[in-house]
A and B are shown apart, each in its own frame.
Chain A
Amino acid sequence: MKSSHRLLLLPVAIFFMAFWLLPVSRLLILPAEQDWRLYFVFLTEARYAWSLINTLGLSIGVTLVTLVLGAAVGLYLGRQPFPGRQLLLSILTLPLSFPGVIIGFFMILLAGRQGLVTDITQALGLGRFSFAYGLAGLFLAYLYFSLPRAIAAYAAAAQSMDKSVEEAARSLGARRWHIIRDVWMVQLESTTSACAAIVFATAMGAFGTAFTLSSQFEVLPITIYSEFTNFANFTLAASLSITLGLFTWFALFLTRRKETVAGVASQ
C-alpha cells in the first residue's frame, strides 16, 4: 500500500481504534479480570440460560415466519401489476426507518390494556383480552419490524426472476407446489439466506421494542440492560453482551461466506 493511501486511512483508523476497538477490547477482557468462568455464565446459571434460549427461540420463530410471509408478499408485489402497487410497497417498507420503541408502542395500541383488540374482545363478550405484554405481543412486534426488510428484499428479487423457467415448468405440467419448490425457492436462495441472517441478527439484538413493552417474556438484551442498570453488574452485562454479539456476528458471517462461495462458483 502506498504511503499516501495509508495517510488517507489514518483518520478512520484512529477514530475506529479510539471509539470501538479499544472500548470493545476492554469489554472483552472485563470478565477475565474477575474470573474467566464468568464468560460461560450463560451456560452455568439457569436464569441467563433461559434468557438466551428465549431469545434464540423467539428470533428463530420470527425469522421463519418473516421469510414465509415476506416472500409471499414480496413475490406478489414484485410480480403482480396492479394500481397503487408501488405505493403499497413503499408503505409496507416504511417501518424500516422506525425506531424499535415505536413498534413496541404500536403493539400497546393494538393489544395493550386500552388496545383495539382488547376493546373488540370485550365487545364480543370475551372479556378484556390483552396479549401485548407477553410472548404473543413480542412475537408480533418483532414480526412487524422484520417484515419490511423481507418484503423489500423479495420484491426486488422477484422483479429480476427469470420467468421463462417457470413458464417452461408450467407447460411441462408441473404442479403449483413443485414450481414453488423447484423454481421459486431455488431462484430466491441467495435472497433467503441473506434475509434470514439479517432478520435473525436484528431480532437477537433488538432492545427498544422489548423495552417499551416491558415484556414478561425476558430476552437477552433486556437481561443485559437490567444487569447493568438495576444491579450495576458491569462484568455480567459485559459477559452476556459478548455471548449475544458472538451469536449475531456468527449468523451474519455464515451467510456472507456462503454468498462469496456462491459468487465464486458462479464465475
Chain B
Amino acid sequence: MTRRTQSPGLALITAIVAIFMLTPMVLSTTAALVNNYSQGLASGLTLRWLEQVISVYGQTVVWSIAIAVACVIGNILIGVPAAYALARNPSRWAKTFEEILTLPVAVPGLATGLALILAYGTLRDFRQSYSFILVGHMIFTLPFLVRTVTAAFQRPDLVAMDEAAKTLGANFRQRFLGILVPAVLPAIAAGSLMVFTLSIGEFNLTWMLHTPLTRTLPVGLADSYASMRLEVGSAYTLVFFIVVLPMLWLLQWCTHLLEKKYAN
C-alpha cells in the first residue's frame, strides 16, 4: 500500500494533542529532579526530593502493591468459580446476576465509599485496617475479572473438552483444576492485569475509605499535592511512574506471552 493519505488536518490535531498529553509528563519529571521548579534546570539536578518522598511516603507504595496483589488473588479465588457457573448457565437469571455484579463500576466510587462507611463505619477494627480498602477495591474490580473469564469459559471447544473428560470419568474437581482453569489462563491473566491496574490507581473510593493510618499511593499523592512543595509532589508522581509503569508493562508482557503460547 503506497497510497498516501492526505490528512494534514488529522496530523496537525494529532501533533497538538500529543504535545498537550506529553508536556505535563515532561514538566512533572523535570520538576522532580531539579532543586527549584521555578528556576528550572538552571537550579541544578538533585535526588533529594525523591529521598524525601521515600522516607515520608515509602510505606504507601508498599501497601498499594500489597492491596493490588491481594485484590487480584481474592478476586481469582471467588471470581473464577463464579465465572464458570455463569458461563454454563445461559439463563436470564445468570445474565441478571452478571449485570448486578457490574453495578459498582456504573456507580461513582464516592457512592460506594459512602455506602461502605455507612454500613461498617462503626466496626472500628475493620474500618481502621487495610482490609476495609481491600474490600472496596475487590468489589470495584471484580466484574472486570468475572466478565473476561466468563467469556473464555463459553468457548465451544472448551465445552466439548469438558464433556469428553466427564465421559472418561473425571470428577468436577479434576476437570475444573486440570482442564478448565489451565485453558482459560490467558483470560485470567488479562483480567488480573485489569484488576491490578485499577486497584493500584484507585482514588475516588479509596479516599473515602482511608484513615490517617491506612494510606495508599494515590491517597499519599493527594496529600503531598495539598501540603508539600511542587518539587515533592512531582517526585512522588515520578515514584508512581517508576514503580507502577514497569510492573504494568511486565504484566502486559506476561499476559501477551500466555496468549501467544495458548494460541497454538
The verdict on B17 contacting chain A, using a C-beta distance below 8 Å, is yes
| B14:A105 contact, CB within 8 angstroms | no
Select A205's contact among B18, B22, B109, B120, beta carbons within 8 Å: B109
Identify which of residues 120-155 in chain B touch chain A, using a CB-to-CB cut-off of 8 Å: 120, 135-136, 138-139, 142, 146
Q: Are A16 and B81 in contact (CB under 8 A)?
A: no
Taking the complex as formed, is A211 at the interface, i.e. its CB lies under 8 A from any CB of chain B?
Answer: yes
Q: Using a CB-CB cutoff of 8 Å, which residues 76-116 of chain A contact chain B?
A: 76-77, 79-80, 88, 91-92, 94-102, 104-110, 114, 116
Tally of B interface residues using CB under 8 Å: 78
By a CB distance below 8 angstroms, the chain A residues around B138 are 15, 19
CB < 8 Å neighbour of A101 from B38, B108, B203: B203
With a CB–CB cut-off of 8 A, which chain B residues contact A201? 106
**Using Cβ atoms and an 8 Å threshold, which residues of chain A touch B142?**
12, 16
- CB-defined contacts of A79 to chain B, threshold 8 Å: 5
Task: Give the chain B neighbours of A24 by CB distance below 8 A.
Answer: 107, 111-112, 115
Query: Does chain A have a CB within 8 A of B254?
Result: no
- Give A101 to B217 CA distance when docked, in angstroms: 11
Beyond A8-B84, A12-B78, is A76–B115 a contact (Cβ under 8 Å)?
no
Q: Which of B7, B22, B79, B106 contacts A12 (CB 8 A)?
A: B79
The answer to whether B106 and A1 touch across the interface, beta carbons within 8 angstroms, is no
Assign chain A's interface to a size class.
Answer: 35 or more
Q: Which residues of A contact B211 (CB under 8 A)?
A: none
Contact A20 B225 (CB under 8 A): no
Q: CB-CB < 8 A to B191: which residues of A?
A: none
Q: How far is the CB of B121 from chain A (nearest CB, A)?
A: 10
CA distance A191 to B221 in the complex (A): 34
What 1/0 flags go to A173-209 for Cβ under 8 Å of B?
0000000000000000000000000000100111110
Q: A26-53 vs B: 1/0 string, CB under 8 Å?
A: 1100100000000000000000000000
* Contact yes or no, B230 A97, CB < 8 A: no
Q: How many A-B residue pairs have CB under 8 A?
A: 221
* Residues from 8 to 41 in B contacting A, C-beta threshold 8 Å: 9-11, 13-14, 17-18, 20-25, 27-28, 31, 37-38
Q: How far is the CB of A224 from chain B (nearest CB, A)?
A: 6
Residue A147 at the B interface, CB < 8 A? yes
Cβ–Cβ contact B108 & A237, under 8 A: no
Within 8 Å of chain A (Cβ to Cβ): is B186? no
A245 touches B13 (CB 8 A): no
> A92, A102, A109, A206: which contacts B221 (Cβ < 8 A)?
A102
Inter-chain contact B27/A252, CB cutoff 8 Å: no
Contact, CB under 8 Å: A105 / B225:
yes
A237–B114 contact, CB under 8 A? yes
Instruction: Tell me, in angstroms, the Cα distance from A80 to B10 when the chains sit together.
Output: 10
Which residue of chain A has the shortest Cβ distance to B230 in the bound complex? A114
Chain B residues near A238: list those with CB within 8 A.
114, 118
- In the complex, the answer to whether B115 meets A27 with C-beta atoms within 8 Å is yes
Is the pair A73, B203 in contact by a Cβ cutoff of 8 Å?
A: no
The answer on a CB contact under 8 Å between B116 and A19 is yes
| Chain A residue at minimum C-beta to C-beta distance from B101 | A16
B103, A20: Cβ atoms under 8 Å? yes
B79 neighbours in A (Cβ, 8 Å): 12
CA distance A69 to B245 in the complex (A): 26
Q: Are B108 and A207 within 8 A (Cβ)?
A: yes
**Do B207 and A241 touch (CB < 8 A)?**
no
The contact of A69 among B17, B78, B146, B172, by CB within 8 Å, is B17
Leading 4 A-B pairs by shortest Cβ distance? A205-B108, A106-B24, A23-B115, A23-B119
Write 26 A-B pairs (CB below 8 A) sorted by A numbering: A8-B84, A9-B85, A11-B77, A12-B82, A12-B146, A13-B97, A15-B138, A19-B135, A20-B139, A22-B119, A23-B115, A69-B17, A73-B14, A80-B7, A91-B21, A97-B197, A97-B245, A99-B218, A105-B28, A116-B23, A147-B17, A205-B109, A208-B204, A212-B222, A221-B204, A241-B114
Extra pairs beyond A73-B18, A205-B109 (11, CB < 8 Å): A12-B81, A19-B116, A23-B115, A27-B111, A92-B17, A96-B197, A101-B203, A102-B240, A105-B233, A248-B108, A249-B107
